[in-house]
């Protein structure tokens, strides 16, 4: 075991971890700020082959440059798939500083060897169809900027995109009204179930548009409006066996576990990895 803060002499640095299971590092948000290197090593030892960043600020990940972050993670046998980000600005002026923001994000990704910039939340209010149209136009522009900079853009859903706005289901409208070669989607399975969405419906009906999955789980049976229960993979209501039957046909490229529980998070991340690796798609 490495001492906290050390990345020298890591035994797993000689070979990339096998498999195709990643972890969103927000899952270990309690441990990460105090011990970046030690927490990353524990994740590597669980078997994860890649990680998704969050909280990148001014080109640094919890105080580490993108170059150092890439080396730290690569030396532990893993790679960086993506980062969650978002600015929440919806400018109509295509020369606005918003687009410089996305150029910077693309630059960070290029430096750390990642391919995907993922908007982790909606960039504005979503109350009317005009709001949805503006969001779609914004996403198209973000996707265009990212593509020119050599990375891909995706939107990560929460629970709020499954209601209807003027008879349109918000997520379906976004998928159907954004450019397929510029805008992709990262479906969070637990949030989808929590929001009343049907994971299998989306994965089956929108091939090529949802190349990224967030593997999380939500317990519908024991949840109510005051107690929304996220749980370990395989212990909730997300139908993972049915989803993985569709994985290849749907165009799944990046599988990332996100653990939403607040208790025993490292144990939960290990249990999630052990559960998800049973599916053939995850194996190399």
**51-66 pLDDT per residue, tens:** 999 999 999 999 999 9
What is the crossing angle of helices 265-276 and 36-46, to 10°?
Answer: 30
**Residue pointed to by tokens 């990345």:** 7
List pLDDT tens digits, range 148-176: 999 999 999 999 999 999 999 999 999 99
Does the structure show a pLDDT above 50 at 8? Answer: no
pLDDT number for residue 95: 75
C-alpha triplet 224, 226, 231: angle, nearest 5°: 65
**Residue pointed to by tokens 């149209």:** 133
pLDDT number for residue 167: 94
Contact 161, 198 (CB under 8 A): no
Task: Look at 2 and 175; give whichever has higher pLDDT.
Answer: 175
Q: What is the dihedral of CA 101, 49, 183, 99, to 10 degrees?
A: 10
**Residue pointed to by tokens 């927490």:** 39
pLDDT number for residue 9: 32
pLDDT number for residue 126: 92
Max Cα separation, the chain? Answer: 58
Quickly state the pLDDT bin for 80 (edges 50, 70, 90): very high
Query: How far are the Cα atoms of 136, 150, 183 from residue 146, in angstroms, in the given order?
Result: 15, 6, 10
3-class secondary-structure state, position 83: strand
pLDDT number for residue 22: 98
Q: Taking residues 18-35, what's their average pLDDT?
A: 95
Closest-CA residue to 13 (of 72, 64, 82, 80): 72
107 φ/ψ angles, rounded to the nearest 5 degrees: -65, -40
Q: What is the share, in percent, of the chain residues with pLDDT greater than 90?
A: 82
Quickly state the pLDDT bin for 2 (edges 50, 70, 90): very low
Sign of the CA dihedral running 109, 114, 117, 120: negative
Q: Could you give the CA distance from residue 214 to residue 256 in angstroms, rounded to a whole number? A: 5
Q: Could you give the CA distance from residue 153 to residue 6 in angstroms, rounded to a whole number? A: 33
List pLDDT tens digits, range 213-265: 999 999 999 988 888 899 999 999 999 999 999 999 999 999 999 998 888 89
What is the b/e burial string over 162-193, where b = at least 16 CB atoms within 10 angstroms of the residue's CB? beebeeebbbbbbbebbeeebbbbbbbbbbbb
pLDDT number for residue 124: 85
pTM value is 0.92
And the tokens for 26? 């927000």
Query: How far are the Cα atoms of 51, 195, 269 from residue 238, in angstroms, in the given order?
Result: 22, 12, 17
Task: Look at 98 and 211; give whichever has higher pLDDT.
Answer: 211
Contact 214, 24 (CB under 8 A): yes
Contact 22, 258 (CB under 8 A): no
Supply the mean pLDDT for the chain.
91
List pLDDT tens digits, range 82-109: 999 988 777 777 677 888 999 999 999 9
60 φ/ψ angles, rounded to the nearest 5 degrees: -130, 145
């Amino acid at each position: 075991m490495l001492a906290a803060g050390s990345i020298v002499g890591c035994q797993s640095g000689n070979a990339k971890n096998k498999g195709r299971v990643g972890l969103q590092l927000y899952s270990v948000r309690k441990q990460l700020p105090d011990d970046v290197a030690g927490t990353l090593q524990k994740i590597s030892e669980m078997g994860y082959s890649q990680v998704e960043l969050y909280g990148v600020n001014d080109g640094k990940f919890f105080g580490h440059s993108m170059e150092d972050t890439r080396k730290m993670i690569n030396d532990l046998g893993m790679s960086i798939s993506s980062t969650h980000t978002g600015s929440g600005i919806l400018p109509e002026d295509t020369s606005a500083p918003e687009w410089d923001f996305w150029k910077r994000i693309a630059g960070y990704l290029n430096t750390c060897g990642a391919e995907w910039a993922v908007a982790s939340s909606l960039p504005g209010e979503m109350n009317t169809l005009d709001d949805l149209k503006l969001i779609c136009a914004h996403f198209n522009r973000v996707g265009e900027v990212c593509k020119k900079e050599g990375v891909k853009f995706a939107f990560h859903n929460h629970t709020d995109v499954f209601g209807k706005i003027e008879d349109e289901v918000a997520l379906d409208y976004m998928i159907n009204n954004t450019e397929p070669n510029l805008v992709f989607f990262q479906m969070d399975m637990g949030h989808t179930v929590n929001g009343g969405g049907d994971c299998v419906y989306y994965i089956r009906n929108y091939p090529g548009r949802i190349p990224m999955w967030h593997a999380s789980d939500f317990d519908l049976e024991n949840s109510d409006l005051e107690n929304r229960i996220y749980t370990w993979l395989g212990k909730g209501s997300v139908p993972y066996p049915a989803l993985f039957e569709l994985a290849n046909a749907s165009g799944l490229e990046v599988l990332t576990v996100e653990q939403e529980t607040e208790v025993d998070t490292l144990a939960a991340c290990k249990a999630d990895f052990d559960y998800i690796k049973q599916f053939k798609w995850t194996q190399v």
